[in-house]
Amino acid sequence: MENVLLVTIFMGTLFFLLGTGVWVGLALFGVAYLGLEMFTTRPAGDAMLTRIWTSSSSWTLTALPLFIWMGEILFRSRLSSDMFRGLAPWMARLPGGLVHINIVGCTIFAAVSGSSAATLTTVGKMSIPELRSRGYPEYMIIGTLTGAATLGLMIPPSLTLIVYGVTVEQSITKLFMAGILPGILLASLFMAYVAGWSFVKRDEVPVITEKMTFAEKVKESRFLIPIVVLILVVIGSMYGGWATATEAAAIGVVGSLLLAALQGSLTWDAFVASLLGATRTSAMIALILMGATALTLAMGFTGLPRALAEFIGAMELSKFSLLMALMVFYIILGMFLDGISSVVLTMAIVQPMVMQAGIDLIWFGIFIVVVVEMAQITPPIGFNLFVMQGITKHPMGYIAKTALPLFAIMVGMVFIMIAFPELATWLPSTVKNASGG
């Protein structure tokens, strides 16, 4: 790395622009321009635009707006309002009772929507009032919800994983499959926490007396069952190799439109709102990706990624200490940036480092998602904290404190993944290859 001063200016400008509130995508774009001007004699603007056009018109990327759209449709359907009623009969007998609805509800909604804010809003709106009225303690309601909503980033379809897959050029189907088992395990650990709480603080758990027969339970959850079937079809079509991630997303959109129409909740207004919402959100992510594409191009010329990879190689760090360092790094970064931005911003530098250390990129995708998820519930900037504050009006510090046990569980999850990497790598290795694209 010959140009230490130039690299310092380059990175300094990046953090200055981001820190002063310039939009993430544009900040990356601007710094890329600066970098190309400083480190090369190539015409910067032309090189950037060629690269941006190629990446923006990529076929793989189309999975992104479609999965967003699917989430937007179901978000506006009866799914949200019927979820509590549908889940309650099944959860009532578990130790810890209806608090489990927060976790199972988040897991199900995470499987139709790729983001944690949507998951949190949808599940929170219906479960908070119901749980309060039944006398569950506030800190358990808020904490489990805030923590479990982060599953949205992990359980397929996950927007963060699509963006990661496009950035490091890995199969999105494989990344999705890799997220399933760790996602389910994490949800189970959260549920174990709730069960543990119910044994330790027996007096805080309200007693539920109502009993239902199996048939009544099924009847209560009749609106939920079609959604679960849709999820299984979308994920199954990818797993079985019948559809690529993009095609599965299209199946998801068509399926959710049909479901919403059958339930009678697909009004013209809801359709237009879902379409426009999906258009805006995907344009937001597209702008970040455009900036990141340009930055990756510029980063290559700075020599920074190679130098860092060699540096890490020379230090002969064990995989474990490298991953620990990255975990701390991403938690700090995630305190200020959202998940998708932190992933695309760092990949140009982190990818060579990780490959040098011989870490599997699919596994690393899940690792990075868990770590970014943790950052969503850490102050000062955690998106889930913001959303939760909006719903409950509790101060952010209180919300963060209630979610602290779940944060600890996620840290534990990272160690479990390092100890048993097969959790993430086994399922993708059994996927049948899709015939197209």
Judged by CB under 8 A, the chain residues 157 through 216 that form the site for other proteins are: 159-160
Under the binding rule (CB under 8 A), the answer on residue 20 touching other proteins is: yes
Give me the least distance between CB of 257 and other proteins, in Å please: 9
Under the binding rule (CB under 8 A), the answer on residue 121 touching other proteins is: yes
Give me the least distance between CB of 55 and other proteins, in Å please: 9
Options 94-102, 126-134, 283-291, 318-326: segment touching other proteins (CB under 8 A): 283-291
Under the binding rule (CB under 8 A), the answer on residue 280 touching other proteins is: yes
Under the binding rule (CB under 8 A), the answer on residue 329 touching other proteins is: no
Residue of 21, 213, 264, 358 that binds other proteins (CB under 8 A): 21
Under the binding rule (CB under 8 A), the answer on residue 48 touching other proteins is: yes
Amino acid letter, 190: F
Per-residue binding string, other proteins, 348-367, x by CB under 8 A, is --------------------
Residue nearer to other proteins on the CB measure, 65 or 421:
65
Rounded distance between C-alpha atoms, residue 406 and residue 121, angstroms: 18
Under the binding rule (CB under 8 A), the answer on residue 17 touching other proteins is: yes
CB 340 within 8 A of CB 291: no
- Main-chain phi, psi angles of 65, to 5 degrees: -60, -30
Options 175-183, 282-290, 297-305, 347-355: segment touching other proteins (CB under 8 A): 282-290
Q: Work out the angle between the directed axes of helices 44-56 and 24-39 (0-180°, nearest 10).
A: 140
Under the binding rule (CB under 8 A), the answer on residue 346 touching other proteins is: no
Residue nearer to other proteins on the CB measure, 389 or 425:
389
Under the binding rule (CB under 8 A), the answer on residue 23 touching other proteins is: yes
Residue of 57, 133, 209, 433 that binds other proteins (CB under 8 A): 57
Site for other proteins in 67-96 (CB under 8 A): 68-69, 71-72, 75-76
Residue nearer to other proteins on the CB measure, 80 or 198:
80
Residue of 8, 50, 188, 429 that binds other proteins (CB under 8 A): 50
Residue of 77, 102, 107, 115 that binds other proteins (CB under 8 A): 115
Under the binding rule (CB under 8 A), the answer on residue 392 touching other proteins is: no
